[in-house]
Structure formats: structure tokens, C-alpha cells
Amino acid sequence: MRSLALSAILLVFVVLSGCTSHSSPEHIAAGLPSSELTGSITRPSNVLPLSNVQQSMPKAVVSREQLAGTVLEVPPAFASPIGSVGIPVPGTRPAVRTGMAKPEMPTFTRSGGQIYGHRFRDAKPINFGRSSPRKLAVHGVDVSRWQGDIDWDRLRTQGANFAYIKATDGGDHLDPMFKTNWRKAKEAGVRRGAYHFFYWCRTAGEQADWFIRNVPREANALPPVIDVEWNGESTCKQRISRERVLEKIQVFADKLERYYGQRPIIYTAPDFYRDNLQGELLDYPFWLRSVATHPSDLYPGRNWLFWQYSGSGLSDAVNGKIDLNVFHGSGDEWHRWIASR
């Protein structure tokens, strides 16, 4: 009798212990997430917990490095539109998969960067009619010491998707703002390149060496530019023959192409083009100044890459006026061109 009573007491104790357990079958079946986080992760407010994605997996500390290659499968209804930042979190938990190809990145991560719409004003606006540069997608600027201290972050969001920065003149002059502009434009995410103002009184080799000495060779920089024009305000007022002009440009361009690995772009104005470049250098990209009409009117038959359409642009990021330019192509063509640099 004593043994039977003891057994009964033990049986009652076991039953009562089971009733007080917190790991009931109902709780497990519900799949409720754990409130715990690993010590190595700080959860942003809009990120879903990963604690019970696969309940059959053992618990482990998940590091940032382990999560870096993880791709979240997002339902189409929550797909992020091109150009937006981040992906909205759906009401249901996405499945976590590894080893999958990453989806196409949104615009702001592509080679050419996010394309900002044109927000510049113009002190002397021109009605270009159907050929308005505003119809083209990718606008930019060119700057020098005369723009002073530039707010590059603001300039970019106002439409400076690219910038050409004055670097050198002749064989011994460096624009005093070049290094500052070169650094700050990069920090602001502006695709930038450097340009050289050519002097007809110095040898082409000297000028190329001077440019190379002062302009860094960087993988993400735009192709260098040679600015060729007649300039009566310069100390060099010499006007040499067409043959000598072409010879000097070729020497300068060849030296820069060998060093930077990119074919230079030729910037010019209508009078200089008419005197020296019409029908010449057809295998070079051109950047054309045309502030009153479409380039096709002043440079018939010439293909162009950039069009400088205003010398009187206005921006909250710059004191005074600024040159405005546009890329000859669509947004997708811009990204493809940048990717080929």
C-alpha cells in the first residue's frame, strides 16, 4: 500500500509539472517570433526579424558579414521603383535565400549615378524651340576659379550630373581652385573631368606634360578635354595656320590618350571650328559651344557628345553665372557611356 501511494504521488507531481511548462505545443505551432536579437546586430526600425525564418535551423549568432550576401525575395507589389532609396517592408515576412543573382540595381547605384532633373535658371534665356536642350536628360556644368566656392552637394541636386573642371592653361598655369573643386565634386558624387585651355604660343608637348603633372589619373574620371579656341583676352594672341593647329592638337591629344587611357574630347567655339576643324578629327568626340541655336546650325554634319548651351546659367550653389551643358543621349545611353570609360 505504501508503494502504491508513493507511485500515485509521483504521478500527480509529473502531471502538474507538465501543466506549468511554457513550451506548449500550441505556442510552438503558432510560430511566434523570438524577441531576442543577437548581440552583433542592431535592427533598423523597418527590418523584419530573422529569428524564425527556418525554425529547423539551430540558433546561431549571425554576423553582418554573413548577411551581406543575403537576398530578400520581395513580392512584386512591394518592388522599389527606379531611383527610390530602399525597399518598403511588406506585411508578410519574405523568404531568405542565398546564392541567388542580385536584382538589377536602382538608378542611383548605376555607373552614371542618379540623374537629377534640370533645375537651373538662366540670366539670358534662349527659346530653342523644338531643339531645346531641356528635352535631353543629362545636364551638367563646367567651372573654374571664377565660380568661387561652390556648394557641390546642392549643385548636383540642381542638375549637375557631370562637371568639367578647369585644370590648366598653357604650360605653366594651374587654376587655383582646381584641386578643391576636383576633390569636392567627387565627394558630392558628381562625375567629373578636367579640361585644359590650349595656348598657341607654347609647344603641345609642354602643355600635355603640364596637364599630366597636375591632373590625377583616376579610373572613374571623365575623359580629359582640350579647349581650343581663339582668345583675344589671353596673353597669347597668335593665330597660326590650320595645318599647325591640327598638328598641335594631335600631339597633345595623343600624349593624353596614352597616359589616361581615354581619347580626349575636343571643346571648341563656332569661329575656331570654321577656321580649323570643319571636316577634321572625325574620330574624336566633340563638345560644342552654341548658346543661341542648336549645334546642327553652326556645326553642320558634326557629331557631338556635349553641347554647351548657355554661358549665363544661375544656381543657388554658385555665386554669379555658370556654363550649362547637356549630354547628347538618353539616361540609359549616359549610363552605358559612363560604364565604358
Q: Is residue 46 part of a domain?
A: no
In order of 48, 190, 319, the CA distances from 270 in angstroms are: 60, 28, 28
- Evaluate whether residue 223 is within a structural domain: yes
Q: Flag whether 205 is in a domain.
A: yes
- pLDDT tens for 45-95 read 333 333 333 333 333 333 333 434 333 333 333 233 333 333 233 333 333
Q: Number of folded domains in the chain?
A: 1
pLDDT at 117 over 90: yes
d(CA 299, CA 280) in angstroms, rounded, equals 12
- What is residue 129's predicted lDDT score, i.e. its pLDDT? 94
13 found inside a domain? no
Interval 9-27 mean pLDDT: 40
3-class DSSP string for 249-304: HHHHHHHHHHHHCCCCEEEECHHHHHHHHCCCCCCCCEEEECCCCCHHHHCCCCCC
pLDDT greater at residue 103 or residue 284 = 284
In a domain, 149, yes or no: yes
Instruction: Give me the DSSP letters along 207-242.
Output: HHHHHHHHS---TTPPPPEEEE---TTSS------H
Q: Considering the domain boundaries, does residue 176 fall inside one?
A: yes
How far is 224 from 175, CA to CA, in rounded Å?
15
- Which residues, other chains included, contact 165 with Cβ-Cβ below 8 Å and sequence gap of 6+? 142, 143, 144, 175, 178, 181, 182, 185, 192, 193, 194, 195
For 282-298, the pLDDT digits (tens) are 999 999 999 999 999 99
Q: What is the mean pLDDT of the chain?
A: 76
**Active-site residue (options: 122, 151, 229, 257):** 229
Residue 89 is assigned to a structural domain of this protein: no
Q: Given a cut of 70, is residue 12 above it in pLDDT?
A: no
Residue 281 in this model has a pLDDT that exceeds 50: yes
Least confident span in 76-90, 123-137, 211-225, 259-273 = 76-90
The verdict on whether 142 is a catalytic residue reads yes
Quick: pLDDT tens for 148-176: 999 999 999 999 999 999 999 999 999 99
Domain holding 245, by residue range, is 139-339
Mean pLDDT of 329-337: 97
Q: What is the reported pLDDT for 233?
A: 72
| 147: pLDDT strictly greater than 80 | yes
pLDDT value of residue 29: 35
Q: Which has the higher per-residue pLDDT, 307 or 80?
A: 307
Radius of gyration (C-alpha) of the chain in whole angstroms: 32
Q: How confident is the model at residue 111 (pLDDT cuts 50, 70, 90)?
A: low
pLDDT reading at 26 higher than 90: no
For residues 128-157, average pLDDT: 97
Q: Which residues contact 9 (CB under 8 A, 6 or more apart)?
A: none
Q: Look at residue 49 and tell me if it is in a domain.
A: no
Distance CA 168, CA 175 (A): 6
Q: Does 5 have pLDDT greater than 70? A: no
Q: Are 158 and 316 in contact (CB under 8 A)?
A: yes
Q: How far apart are CA 139 and CA 133, in angstroms?
A: 9
Cα separation, 118 vs 261, in Å, equals 31
pLDDT band with cut points at 50, 70 and 90 for residue 44: very low
* CATH number assigned to the domain comprising residue 306: 3.20.20.80
209: annotated active-site residue: no
- % of the chain exceeding 70 in pLDDT: 67
pLDDT value at position 110? 60
Poorest-confidence range of 80-89, 101-110, 311-320?
80-89
Give the pLDDT of residue 230.
92
Angle at 223 between CA 153 and CA 190, to 5 degrees: 10
pLDDT of residue 211: 98
Average pLDDT over residues 20-27: 37
**pLDDT confidence band for 235 (50 / 70 / 90):** confident
